[in-house]
Structure 1
Amino acid sequence: MEKCLKLLLLLLLLSSGVMAQKIGFVDSEYVLNKHPEYKKIQEDLKALGNAWKKEAQNLEQEIKEMYNSLKAEEVLLTEEMYNERLEAIKEKEKEATAFNTRVFGIKGQYYQKQAELLQPLQSEIFDAIDKVAKRQGIAIMFDKAADLSMIYTDPVHDYSDFVLEELGLEENK
């Protein structure tokens, strides 16, 4: 019985200690959108993405022209010539698919470049969040923009503006 009482007392002490922990949240999307470097990164990524999209469109246009040319000359070609051209078109299609996968695929160049450009900014923001959490005595800090579902948040626990202040960015409401 004494062991049960001690265990119960220990659980009560631990639960009251957890209850006393201060929590807060940050909206990293809000912080990112306020950061001038983020806008520059977005512009750079958009320009790069547009250039690669144009290259992909050029490949598609080239394939379309090859098909149109084949269709127009079909009656003049021997079966062997027709099959050679058709094979060339299929190779060009494979090339276009490989390009799209290499550039825009799950681990493609576009996403690698995005990660490369965002990593220093994300590290800076994380460091600012860490400093704010320590200064404010926050034990648990959530990110409102992350996959974590927050069905209600009291703005009094929002430390996003403190993070902007830590980053040296003026908060514009």
Structure 2
Amino acid sequence: MRRLLFALPLLWLALMPSLVRAQKFGYIDSEFIMSKMPAYAQAQQELNTMSQNWQKDLEAQKKDLDRLYRTYQAEEVLLTEPMKKKRQDEILKKEQDIKAYQNKVFGYEGQLFKKRQELTKPVQDQVFEAVEKVAKKKQLAIIFDKSGDLTMLYTNPAHDYTEFVLEELGLASEERNQPAAKGPVRTVETPATPGGAADDAEFEDQRPAAKPAQPAKGKQPARSGARNN
């Protein structure tokens, strides 16, 4: 009995290589695939436009805040203490409004975050469905995403199924899918706006007290030509 128990692990170790070889796997580059999808490019353009408009609104609010500071400084010597307190409260409220607007639009789960999910989810769903079809057709047990968090130190082009997914999406084209230099896909970057640690410190330093200080002015990896069987 002991011999049998000792032999079982050895048997599994002997069979392991053949079991691994029996499982087919492949990988794709989802960023490269989405970069070829018109719907994704349109979504990114819409997000960029919205982001730029929101940024303009924030800049306008910052200019209003700056005017309040300048006016306060110019008239401070003529103001009574109650009038100074009123002006200071106005400036403080404006600062808080800017921070609140920035968090509402560009913060975590803000309007830009939600809009990005809304516009890109249909594209991601299309890619997932195409990947699922390729996996079934090619009898793959696992498909990795080369552009995801998984670190792939080496990839054999023979296991690259990116082109097959593009075919499922109707985007296969020798002219459009030529190998290119590796580079990131364009995505919407949250613009620098008030609300960060540096801006918080700036607001604190600029808040009027006895005499307020003037506020400071402001991956497309190479595609292999090899085809999978």
TM-score (norm 2): 0.72
2:89 & 2:38 partners in 1: Cα distance?
50
1:82 & 1:7 partners in 2: Cα distance?
83
| Aligned residues: CA RMSD | 1.3
Please list every run of 5 or more consecutive structure 2 residues that lacks an aligned counterpart in the other structure.
179-229
Tell me the equivalent position of 2:132: 130
Tell me the equivalent position of 1:90: 92
Tell me the equivalent position of 1:159: 161
- What SS does the aligned partner of 2:44 have? helix
2:151 & 2:121 partners in 1: Cα distance?
24
Tell me the equivalent position of 2:118: 116
Tell me the equivalent position of 2:64: 62
Q: How big is the shift at 1:49?
A: 0.5
Q: How big is the shift at 1:150?
A: 1.1
- Specify which of 100, 103, 124 is matched with residue 101 of structure 1: 103
2:8 & 2:163 partners in 1: Cα distance?
44
Q: Tell which has more relative contact order, 1 or 2 (C-alpha 8 A, sep 6+).
A: 1
Residue 4 (1) aligns with residue 11 (2): no
Q: How big is the shift at 1:14?
A: 4.5
Tell me the equivalent position of 1:77: 79
Tell me the equivalent position of 1:139: 141
TM-score (norm 1): 0.94
Q: How big is the shift at 1:20?
A: 2.3
- What is the letter of the counterpart of residue 79 of structure 1? E
Please list every run of 5 or more consecutive structure 1 residues that lacks an aligned counterpart in the other structure.
none
More helix by share: 1
2:122 & 2:16 partners in 1: Cα distance?
38
Task: State the identity %.
Answer: 42
Tell me the equivalent position of 2:25: 23
- What SS does the aligned partner of 1:107 have? coil
